[in-house]
Amino acid sequence: MDLQSIKNRFGIIGNSPSLNHALNTAVQVSATDLTVLIVGESGVGKEVFSQIIHTLSARKHNPFIAVNCGAIPEGTIDSELFGHEKGSFTGAVESRKGYFETVNGGTIFLDEIGEMPLGTQARLLRVLETGEFIRVGSSKVQKTDVRVIAATNRELLEFAEKGKFRQDLYYRLSTVPIRVPSLRDRKEDIQLLFRKFVVDFSERYRTSAVQLDEEAKNVLINHPFPGNVRELKNLAEQISVLSNSRNISAPQLRSFLPEKNHGSRMPILAGAATQGEFANEREILYKLFFDMKKDVTELKKMFLEILQNPSMAVNAATFTKESLMNDFSRIEDNEITHAILQGQNLPTPVLSNQQQPYLLNDETIHHHEEVEENLNIMVKEKELIIKALKKHKSKRRDASADLGISERTLYRKLKEYDIDDL
């Protein structure tokens, strides 16, 4: 199949060398089972390239699925991709197959691969290297034959250097990289795309197609289009629907273009333009400083109120007003600032032996021990069930309604946790 036939079949418009090179690469790699990494800005049409590769491959009659890794919560993405066993986590009432199991023999397109959690990246790497995966909550190794096509609008190698993406997974994914050009890199195609879009929208809305004068064409070509083809299509639709004139001038076109971002109007230090990351950290430190200064002020007020109204403090430590204000006054603003910027702990007031706090019953505090709370979900669930049964005097219907579960589920939980009616 020649290149023009592929463009017609998948609705691709343009003849720029960079676009043709990307399409040729996709056609050549489609006949293999190699992993492909498609790189490009948002809105350039990366998913279309994955469909081209699958359609022209030997897997074309098998399933194809597109998964947006950035749209799946971190806690469920492993289950979505690899499946889970019944009871492997709260809410897993039955076993479920993941995408790598249901798409066996086909192609899976992992969009926004840079948003995938590191733990899931390790599982994906095992699939790519051995074709094996394990369901969540299972110990049984399963095999799959799935071709992986990944896409990202980020520079994954930079992510890998910062520890946000596995370097071994990056090199495994980028066996064949395809870089889809942005509209800024194929300006000769902008007018062709715009013309195609306005003609399509004129047919849809039963109006005549809009025309751009020469000055408007220059404005269109020189617009940066950060949203690429998606933004250009939206612009064509807005003009087709909202413009009262079918002949668009440059001022009329500019009224539909988003205003340029002139950057933040917040004051910055000289040279901060080249130190963006450091500037952001400094802003966080400044905010932390002001928040902590406010907290210290509020703390002073709170203790002053307790001293003036002893009834507000039950079994609280007693201090003299003079020693309290003197101790807190030692934490000067410059000390807080220095401690924050140096990454140190804040200075704390030092009390003399006469100023040490005592309980109102005159028992000295000799020992203090923090008991770590049990955060096990099953333990908490059992405690809630027992509380509900006690509250409703073992009436299961009322207890299940209070817990927000069915009476059948409550009965199953009672057997599972070996809870007798209370």
Chain segment 147-193, per-residue pLDDT in tens: 999 999 999 999 999 999 999 999 999 999 999 999 999 999 999 99
50 and 93 belong to one structural domain: yes
Tokens of 150: 């990944």
pTM: 0.61
Q: What is the pLDDT of residues 217-227, one digit of tens each?
A: 999 999 999 99
Q: Give backbone dihedrals phi and psi of 386, rounded to 5 degrees, phi first.
A: -60, -45
Laid out side by side, the sheet with 64-68 consists of: 64-68, 107-111, 147-152, 36-39, 176-179
- Backbone conformation region of residue 110, classed left if phi is above 0, alpha if psi is from -120 to 50, else beta: beta
146 and 235 co-located in one domain: no
Angle at 313 between CA 311 and CA 314, to 5 degrees: 95
* Residue 175 shares a structural domain with residue 190: no
* 119 and 191 both lie in a single domain: no
Mean pLDDT across the stretch 381-404? 84
Mean pLDDT within 97-116: 96
Written as six digits, the tokens of 47 are 């998913």
Residues 169 and 239 in one domain: no
Structural domain for 200, as ranges: 184-256
Domain end: 323, 355, 387, which one?
355
Which pLDDT score is estimated for 360? 42
> 22 is written with which tokens?
């990307």
Phi, then psi, of 262 in degrees rounded to 5: -90, 5
* pLDDT given at position 287: 59
pLDDT above 50 (res 333): no
Q: Are residues 158 and 211 in the same domain?
A: no
Mean pLDDT within 61-71: 95
Same domain, 173 and 205: no
Q: What is the pLDDT of residues 124-154, one digit of tens each?
A: 999 999 999 999 999 999 999 999 999 999 9
Q: Are both 59 and 148 inside the same structural domain?
A: yes
Residue 114 lies in a domain: yes
The CATH number of the domain where 239 resides is what?
1.10.8.60
| DSSP structure string for 384-406 | HHHHHHHHTTT-HHHHHHHHTS-
Domain check: are 242 and 346 in the same one? no
Residue 362 domain-assigned (yes or no): no
Q: What is the pLDDT of residues 280-308, one digit of tens each?
A: 455 555 556 666 766 777 777 777 777 76
264 domain residue, yes or no: no
193 and 144 within one domain: no
Please state the φ and ψ torsions of residue 95, each to the nearest 5 degrees: -70, 150
138 vs 364: which has the higher pLDDT: 138
Whole-number mean pLDDT of the chain?
Answer: 81
Tokens (6 digits) for 254:
């500019």
Average pLDDT rounded to a whole number, residues 308-329: 52
Higher-pLDDT residue of 278, 67: 67
How far apart are alpha carbons 124 and 255 in whole angstroms? 47
Domain stop point among 130, 147, 181: 181
Higher local confidence (pLDDT), 270 or 219: 219
- Assess if residue 360 is contained within a domain: no
84: β partners:
96, 136
Residue of 57, 52, 60 lying closest to 34 (CA atoms): 57
- Asked if residue 367 is part of any domain, the answer here is no
Question: Over 80: is that where the pLDDT of 95 sits?
Answer: yes
Residue 382, CA distances (Å) to 266, 388, 403 in order: 52, 10, 11
Q: What is the pLDDT of residue 100?
A: 96
Spatial neighbors of 73 by CB under 8 A, at least 6 apart, are: none
- Are 55 and 75 found together in one domain? yes
CA distance 410 to 403: 9
Is 412 among the domain residues? yes
Alpha-carbon distance values, 29 to 33, 54, 120, 149, 359 (Å):
8, 10, 26, 11, 77
Note whether 216 and 253 are within 8 A (CB): yes
**CATH number (domain holding residue 45):** 3.40.50.300
272-286 burial string, b = 16+ CB within 10 Å, else e? eeeeeeebeeeeeee
Overall residue count recorded for the chain in this entry: 422
- Number of compact structural domains in the chain: 4
What confidence tens digit (pLDDT) does each residue in 335-360 have? 544 544 455 554 444 444 444 444 44
Q: Are residues 113 and 142 in the same domain?
A: yes
Task: Determine, yes or no, domain membership for 212.
Answer: yes
Residue 313's pLDDT is: 55
Instruction: Examine residue 149 and state whether it is found in any structural domain, yes or no.
Output: yes
Of the residues 181, 197, 227, the one at which a domain ends: 181
